[in-house]
Amino acid sequence: MSTEEKSLHFIEQIIEENLANGFPQHKLRFRFPPEPNGYLHIGHAKSICLNFGLGLRYNAPVNLRFDDTNPAKEEQEYVDAIKEDLKWLGFNWAEERYASDYFQQLYEWAVEMIKKGKAYVDSQSSEDMAAQKGSPTQAGVDGPYRNRSVEENLTLFEAMKNGDFPEGSHVLRAKIDMSSTNMLMRDPLMYRILHRHHHRTGNDWKIYPMYDYAHGESDYIEQISHSICTLEFVMHRELYNWFLDQIYDENRVRPHQYEFARLNLNYTVMSKRKLLQLVQENIVSGWDDPRMPTISGLRRRGYTANSIRKFCEIIGVAKRENVIDVSLLEFCLREDLNKSAPRVMAVLDPVKVIITNYPEGKEEFLDAENNQEDEAAGFRKVPFSKELYIEREDFLEVAPAKFFRLSIGNEVRLKNAYIIKGESVVKDANGNITEIHVTYDEDSRSGSGSEASQRKVAGTLHWVSIPHAVEAEVRLYDRLFIDEAPDSHKEKNFLEFMNINSLQTVKGYVEPSLANVNPGDKFQFQRLGYFNVDKDSTASKLVFNKTVGLKDAWEEKGKKEANLLMNTQKEINKYVKEKDETNADLLLKSIVDNIESIDNFSLINQTVVKNVKNDNNSLLFANLILLHSDKVQAKDIEQEVLTKLYLMSLKSQLAAVRIAAIENLKNDYLHFDDFKTQLSDLKNSEKNDQVLNLLNSLVL
């Protein structure tokens, strides 16, 4: 096998094998088949890049087909948004098709199936149908309407089509095998009655085909050669093929279904239903909210089409499900923006700097490089004056040893400008710094070639000239969820993991070169990150969105939280050994503060579980986490693990462990009664006064 062949993903290998076995290349045809019931998200981008990528590789047409078979959830708004997203990603479709284009043909095929005894009208309730279908371990049984005559089925189906019956009164089912090990083959639904307005066919139809029926037949109509789905459709393949068997003409191309692993991204939800909930409950501002994983949200936030395509290329096409770290998507974005985004200066938390020895009224225009990664980007002029803004965090009156920014008595360089030295500050009545007074070295201007300009100082700061600064609203976006898998925890609503700091709006100041920017323009705010101009921006009010930071802050935060928990466990050991009551109280306060500061639910949940073992210090740590963390509760811990924790803790030789366990049980209304016997036994044998007082306060 050649090196090129080895690099092919498994679907490309299948296609190559088909071609080698005589399948005509000119009959290759693919499709991207979204249902227009929501906006496309980053998960769809993988499917888009796969299908359209195959089209480009094999010079084959790719249809855009809207599977619009459910008028209750589908809207023209979603159709338009999907088309816009595809074009933005850089893909063009051969034909724009709709499942609704085929309603008449699908109906006629269904009538033929009834005539052949392959379909029937069922008049049971949905509950009765579910019961008679059985379970994965129990075969289904024939329903009371399964053997209706062909004539009766045709009459009823025609009446369903004419709108003579209410919704839910009848369905059309395929007549396959009620004892099949694949429950999807147990007489699946083909049509249901819906008296709903369709975005394309209006009120022409009163019955609508089910997805499993319409999908494969639509592929056949369009002569799709390779129908590519995600892994959840593996069990549907048998049904896909059964429906094709009923209509297949050997002189035409027969579609084949292949499944690949969909994109799962951490710190994200991909369910359209849950994304719609975020929109409907106004948790976000809309489908294109820059915190949303939708293509339109990513676009508005400042993502580039190239970065998303590159991301999909890197993660590849696989047969096994896995979870991709969102930091990889952000890495692809940084890589792309680093090459293309002009560097500019902006200050988002300003404090005034006055250069006391700079001439009054003087202003200069200094040369600033637009992008050191792009030689063709050139330079721009940046105004400089006596009064500047710098970031408040870039100054400390008294600086620690490794603080490489501005402080009293220390020097820093202003980017593209001069070296300055902190001299004094002015404060308001509350002690807040309102002005920083500095002096500058007149001979140190960047690029001047002077000896002073060559001087090395520890730090370089960005800034904007106050007389020339342009005010802007800056929206600082962050991840929408604080947990890696917000919709994967039993007994937890994904909304419990919302990041309350996912959007912060500040008033900042930008250099005047940004006065005439347009929505969608992208920049690197030096030392701050990448930002783009939001669609809300106007000539009189600039609005920027933070796209991504220069570094992966979440990775750093994750490491910090993991390290903090490890260090806190060491503090537990010190606390247990500490004899001095005052010192012990201080240690305990530090431990509790650390626990309360951890946001990562999964991390803190796993820490509880790992510490349920026959070790007093570990048991104390687990109990203190349960007692003081607002991220994890007793109901979030598996029953067996929680029971073990309580039983071992109540028997612990360490009074602090028994106290913490009793406090947890007091708060755990679900399990308190289960441990009344153990608590009563402990009360009879307990010798520690503090534990005894706590036990006496309980109603046992």
Give pLDDT tens digits for 241-277.
999 999 999 999 999 999 999 999 999 999 999 999 9
For tokens 């639910």, the residue is: 601
Three-state SS across 236-305?
HHHHHHHHHHCCCCCCCCCCEEEEECCCEECCCCCCHHHHHHHHHCCCCCCCCCCCCCEHHHHHHHCCCH
Q: Provide the residue ranges of all domains of the chain, joining segments of one domain with +.
A: 102-212, 272-339+474-510+516-551, 343-469, 555-697
CA distance 479 to 481: 6
Place 1 in a pLDDT band, splitting at 50, 70 and 90.
very low
Place 656 in a pLDDT band, splitting at 50, 70 and 90.
very high
For residue 575, is it left (φ>0), alpha (ψ between -120 and 50) or beta? Answer: alpha
Q: Work out the burial of residue 108: count CB atoms within 10 Å of its CB; fewer than 13 is exposed, 13-18 middle, 19 or more buried.
A: exposed
Amino acid letter, 244: L
Among 227-236, 278-287, 662-671, the minimum mean pLDDT is found in 662-671
DSSP 649: H
pLDDT tens-digit profile of 450-461? Answer: 999 999 998 999
pLDDT of residue 375: 84
Question: Is the distance from CB of 297 to CB of 308 less than 8 angstroms?
Answer: no
**Going by C-beta distance under 8 Å and a sequence separation of 6 or more, which residues neighbour residue 84?**
296
Which amino acids are annotated as binding site for ATP, given as ranges? 35-37, 41-47, 230, 262-263, 270-272
Q: How many helices (H) and strands (E) does the chain have?
A: 21, 29
Place 4 in a pLDDT band, splitting at 50, 70 and 90.
very low
- Fold type of domain 272-339+474-510+516-551: Glutamyl-tRNA Synthetase; domain 2 (1.10.1160)
Which amino acids are annotated as binding site for L-glutamine, given as ranges? 67, 211
Beta bridge partners of residue 138, listed in sequence order? 135
CA distance 418 to 405: 14
CA distance 59 to 321: 29
Question: Mean pLDDT over all residues of the chain?
Answer: 94
What's the predicted TM-score (pTM) here?
Answer: 0.85
Among 27-31, 64-68, 592-596, the minimum mean pLDDT is found in 592-596
Amino acid letter, 388: L
pLDDT tens-digit profile of 291-312? Answer: 999 999 999 999 999 999 999 9
Please give the C-alpha separations between residue 82 and each of 32, 41, 295, 553, 648, in angstroms, as whole numbers.
11, 10, 9, 32, 56
pLDDT tens-digit profile of 460-495? Answer: 999 999 999 999 999 999 999 998 899 988 778 999
pLDDT of residue 56: 97
CB-side neighbour CA atoms (13 Å) of 674:
12
Give the mean pLDDT of 432-443: 97
Beta bridge partners of residue 189, listed in sequence order? 173
Beta bridge partners of residue 363, listed in sequence order? 385
Q: Which residues are catalytic?
A: 35, 262, 272
CA distance 332 to 311: 6
Residue 5 has pLDDT above 70, yes or no: no
pLDDT of residue 2: 42
Q: What are phi and psi of 411, to 5 degrees?
A: -105, 150
**Going by C-beta distance under 8 Å and a sequence separation of 6 or more, which residues neighbour residue 606?**
none
**β-strand pairing of 379-385 with 363-369:** antiparallel
Residue 604 has pLDDT above 60, yes or no: yes
Question: Is the distance from CB of 352 to CB of 436 less than 8 angstroms?
Answer: yes
555-697: CATH number: 1.25.10
Give the mean pLDDT of 133-146: 96
For tokens 């796993």, the residue is: 606
CA distance 436 to 213: 72
Please give the sequence-ordered ranges of beta strands (E in DSSP) within 441-486, or none if there are none. 460-461, 464-465, 470-477
**β-strand pairing of 363-369 with 30-32:** unpaired
**β-strand pairing of 419-427 with 350-355:** unpaired
What percentage of the chain reaches a pLDDT higher than 90?
A: 86
Give the mean pLDDT of 316-330: 92
Place 6 in a pLDDT band, splitting at 50, 70 and 90.
low
pLDDT tens-digit profile of 530-577? Answer: 999 999 999 999 999 999 999 988 777 778 888 889 899 889 999 999
Q: For the stretch 198-226, what's the b/e string if a residue is b when 16 or more beta carbons lie within 10 angstroms of its beta carbon?
A: bbbbeeebbbbbbbbbbbbbbbbbbebbb
CA distance 471 to 308: 31
pLDDT tens-digit profile of 627-646? Answer: 999 888 888 888 899 999 99
CA distance 531 to 510: 12
Cα radius of gyration (the chain): 33
Place 37 in a pLDDT band, splitting at 50, 70 and 90.
very high
Query: Which is nearest to 16 in space by CA: 192, 160, 206, 226?
Result: 226
CA distance 300 to 534: 7
Looking at domain 102-212, does it have CATH number 2.40.50.100? Answer: no
CA distance 277 to 524: 33
Beta bridge partners of residue 31, listed in sequence order? 63
**Going by C-beta distance under 8 Å and a sequence separation of 6 or more, which residues neighbour residue 355?**
386, 387, 388, 420, 438, 439, 440
Give the mean pLDDT of 164-178: 98
**β-strand pairing of 350-355 with 264-265:** unpaired
**β-strand pairing of 256-260 with 226-230:** parallel
The CATH number of 343-469, from 2.40.50.140, 2.40.240.10, 1.20.210.10, 3.40.640.10, is 2.40.240.10
Place 698 in a pLDDT band, splitting at 50, 70 and 90.
confident
Give the mean pLDDT of 278-284: 96
Residue 104 has pLDDT above 90, yes or no: yes
pLDDT tens-digit profile of 378-397? Answer: 999 999 999 999 999 999 99
